[in-house]
C-alpha cells in the first residue's frame, strides 16, 4: 500500500489484519484457531441485519443512544476562539463509551453459543461495562485485574462484584493491566469451548482492533450527522483522548476520508514526556514493537522490555496504542500530541466551572488540548471533542491533587 495512491483511509485492515506495518496477529499456535474462528463469526455477523438490529435496540433502550452533541457555549466564550462542541458519551449507561463495544462483543458471543465471558481491566471501567452486560444477559463473567489495580480501584472492584462478576487479582509480572491481559489470553486458550474474550480497546490480535473500532464507530457516525444537522457542515477539528485508542478511533473513523477535517489524538503526558517514562505517550514517546498479538508503538526500554508508564488517569495507562493509530500517525492522517497531568487537571476544573459537567480525567486530556488551541483559532472554526466519560470515579484522585481533604479517603 503506497500512501500517496490511497484513495480511502477506511479500507483497513488487510486480510492479515495489518494497517500498513502495524497490527497483525502475533499469537501462539494454540491461540490461532480461536482468533480465526472469531474473525469468521464476526465477518458473518457484521453483514447480518439482525445483528445490527439487536445492537441498535440495546443502544437505544439500554445505553441511551444517541448521545447528545452539545455546544459548550460558556467554554467557547471563555476561551474566545473556536466554537467548541462536546460529543456527550459520558451520558451512556455506566458513564463512558466502553459499553458501546462490550454490547457488540457480547451479542456476538451469544450468537457463537458462548456462556462464559472473560475480560481484562486496568482502571476497572471496561470490567464494569462487561460485568454490566453479562448481568443483563445472565452470563458468567470473569474479570482479570492486576493486583496493584485491584488495590487502587476498590470502588470498581466492588461494582463488578455487585454485578455478579468474579474478579481475579493478577500477581504475575508487575500486577498491572498488561499482565491481566496476558492472563486473560491464557484463560481463553484453556477454556475455548464455552469462553469468549471481550477486549476493552482497539488492541490485541486481529480481528479485535477492527472489531472494537467498528462497534465504537457509532460515536463518529452520530457526531457527523448531528454536526450536519446543527451547523450544516463538518467540524474543522476533532479531538479525543487516547489510552488504547478506542474512543478516539470511534470518533475518528467516519471522518478519515474528509480531508478538510483535522484529526488530533491526545496521549497522557503524565509528568512530561521525558526519559524517565513518567508518562503514557506511546506514540510521542515510544517505538514499534510487538505486544498482545499486534505490532504497534509501545513504551519500552532499550532492551525492548515493556515499561509501565504513568498517568494521573488510570484509564490512560496502557503501554501500547491501537495499531490503526500507529498507522494513521506514520502516514500523517492524524496528529498525536500529549498533555501533562497538570494541564488535564486544569481542564477538569474549567469544565466543571464553565459547563456544569464533571468530566473523567481521560477526556480532560482532550479538553486540555482544546484549551491550548481554541484561543488561536477563528470563531468560525468548529472543534468537536469526545467527552467519553464522566468524572465521578475520579473525584478522589482530583481531591488529592488539589489538596482537598475528603473524609474516609
Ligand X SMILES: *Cc1c(COP(=O)(O)O)cnc(C)c1O
83 or 267, CB closer to ligand X?
267
As measured in angstroms, the least distance from the Cβ of 248 to ligand X is 6
**By the rule CB under 6 A, 227 interacts with ligand X:** no
Q: Binder to ligand X among 237, 246, 282, 300 (CB under 6 A)?
A: 246
220: contact with ligand X by CB under 6 A = no
Query: Per rule CB under 6 A, is residue 244 in the interface with ligand X?
Result: yes
SS3 category, 219: helix
- Beta-ladder partners of 146: 170
Say which residue the cell 486530556 belongs to: 365
CB of 245 to ligand X, least distance (A): 5
User: Can residue 241 be called a binding residue for ligand X (CB under 6 A)?
Assistant: yes
Residue 10, all three cell numbers: 477506511
Near ligand X in 94-133, by CB under 6 A: 96, 98, 125
Residues 341, 270: Cα–Cα separation, whole Å:
5
Q: What is the DSSP string of 125-193?
A: HHHHHHHHHHHHHT-EEEEEEEHHHHHHTHHHHHHHHHTT-EEEEE-STTSSHHHHHHHHHHHHHHTTT
Helix (H) or strand (E) holding 356: none
**Shortest distance, CB of residue 90 to ligand X, whole angstroms?**
7
Does 398 engage in binding with ligand X (CB under 6 A)? no
What cell was used for 242? 487516547
Q: Are 356 and 350 in contact (CB under 8 A)?
A: no
Show Cβ contacts of residue 402 under 8 Å, excluding neighbours closer than 6 positions.
345
Work out whether 72 is an interface residue with ligand X (CB under 6 A). no
Tell me, by CB under 6 A, how many residues bind ligand X: 18
Judged by CB under 6 A, the residue of 105, 156, 201, 338 near ligand X is 201
Stretch that binds ligand X, among 240-248, 284-292, 296-304, 323-331 (CB under 6 A): 240-248
Among 315, 319, 320, 323, binds ligand X (CB under 6 A): 315
Sequential DSSP letters for 395-408: HHHHHHHHT---TT
Residue 362 touching ligand X (CB under 6 A)? yes
Q: Which of residues 201 and 326 has its CB atom nearest to ligand X in the complex?
A: 201
DSSP conformational letter for 61:
I
| Interaction between residue 320 and ligand X (CB under 6 A) | no
DSSP 8-state symbol, 314: G
Compute the least distance from the CB of residue 81 to ligand X, in Å. 25
**Residue among 201 and 294 whose Cβ is closer to ligand X:** 201
Interface with ligand X includes 243 (CB under 6 A)?
A: yes
In the complex, least distance from residue 67 CB atom to ligand X, rounded to whole angstroms: 13
Identify the residue among 108, 117, 150, 242 touching ligand X (CB under 6 A): 242
Q: CA–CA separation, 127 vs 140, rounded Å? A: 13
Residues 145-184 vs ligand X: string with x where CB under 6 A? ----------------------------------------
Matching residue, cell 477492527: 210
**Of the residues 100, 195, 226, 247, which one makes contact with ligand X according to CB under 6 A:** 247
With CB under 6 A as the contact rule, the residue among 389, 394, 397, 398 that binds ligand X is 389
> Which positions ≥6 away from 323 have C-beta within 8 Å?
13, 18, 19, 22, 23, 24, 202, 203, 209, 294, 295, 296
394 touches ligand X (CB under 6 A):
no
Could you tell me the three cell numbers for 163? 454485578
Question: Under the rule (CB under 6 A), what is the footprint of ligand X?
Answer: 96, 98, 125, 201, 241-248, 315-316, 360, 362, 388-389
Amino acid at each position: 500500500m503506497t500512501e500517496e495512491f490511497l484513495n480511502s483511509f477506511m479500507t483497513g485492515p488487510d486480510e492479515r489484519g495489518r494497517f500498513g506495518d502495524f497490527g497483525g496477529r502475533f499469537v501462539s499456535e494454540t491461540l490461532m484457531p480461536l482468533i480465526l474462528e472469531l474473525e469468521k463469526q464476526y465477518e458473518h455477523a457484521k453483514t447480518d441485519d439482525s445483528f445490527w438490529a439487536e445492537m441498535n435496540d440495546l443502544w437505544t433502550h439500554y445505553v441511551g443512544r444517541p448521545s447528545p452533541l452539545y455546544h459548550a457555549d460558556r467554554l467557547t466564550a471563555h476561551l474566545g476562539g473556536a466554537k467548541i462542541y462536546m460529543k456527550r458519551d459520558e451520558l451512556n449507561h455506566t458513564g463512558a463509551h466502553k459499553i458501546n463495544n462490550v454490547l457488540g462483543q457480547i451479542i456476538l458471543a451469544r450468537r457463537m453459543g458462548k456462556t462464559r465471558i472473560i475480560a481484562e481491566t486496568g482502571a476497572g471501567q471496561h470490567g464494569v461495562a462487561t460485568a454490566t452486560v453479562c448481568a443483563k444477559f445472565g452470563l458468567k463473567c470473569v474479570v482479570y485485574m492486576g493486583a496493584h489495580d485491584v488495590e487502587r480501584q476498590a470502588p470498581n472492584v466492588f461494582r463488578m462484584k455487585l454485578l455478579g462478576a468474579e474478579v481475579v487479582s493478577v500477581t504475575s509480572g508487575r500486577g498491572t493491566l498488561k499482565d491481566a491481559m496476558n492472563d486473560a489470553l491464557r484463560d481463553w486458550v484453556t477454556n475455548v469451548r464455552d469462553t469468549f474474550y471481550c477486549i476493552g480497546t482497539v488492541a490485541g490480535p486481529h480481528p479485535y482492533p477492527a472489531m472494537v473500532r467498528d462497534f465504537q464507530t457509532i460515536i463518529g457516525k452520530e457526531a457527523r450527522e448531528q454536526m450536519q444537522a446543527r451547523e450544516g457542515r463538518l467540524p474543522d477539528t476533532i479531538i479525543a483522548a487516547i489510552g488504547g485508542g478506542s474512543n478516539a478511533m470511534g470518533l475518528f473513523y467516519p471522518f478519515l476520508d474528509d480531508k478538510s477535517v483535522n484529526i488530533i489524538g491526545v496521549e497522557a503526558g503524565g509528568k512530561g514526556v521525558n526519559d524517565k517514562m513518567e508518562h503514557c505517550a506511546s506514540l510521542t514517546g515510544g517505538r514499534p514493537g510487538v505486544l498482545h498479538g499486534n505490532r504497534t508503538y509501545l513504551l519500552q526500554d532499550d532492551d525492548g522490555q515493556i515499561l509501565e508508564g504513568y498517568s494521573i488517569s488510570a484509564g490512560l495507562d496502557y503501554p501500547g496504542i491501537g495499531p490503526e493509530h500507529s498507522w494513521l500517525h506514520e502516514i500523517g492522517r492524524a496528529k498525536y500530541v500529549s498533555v501533562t497531568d497538570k494541564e488535564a487537571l486544569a481542564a477538569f476544573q474549567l469544565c466543571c466551572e464553565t459547563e456544569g459537567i464533571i468530566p473523567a480525567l481521560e477526556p480532560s486530556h482532550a479538553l486540555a488540548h482544546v484549551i491550548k488551541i481554541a484561543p488561536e483559532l477563528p470563531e468560525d472554526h468548529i472543534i468537536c471533542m469526545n467527552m467519553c466519560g464522566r468524572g465521578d470515579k475520579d473525584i478522589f484522585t482530583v481531591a488529592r491533587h488539589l489538596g482537598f481533604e475528603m473524609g474516609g479517603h
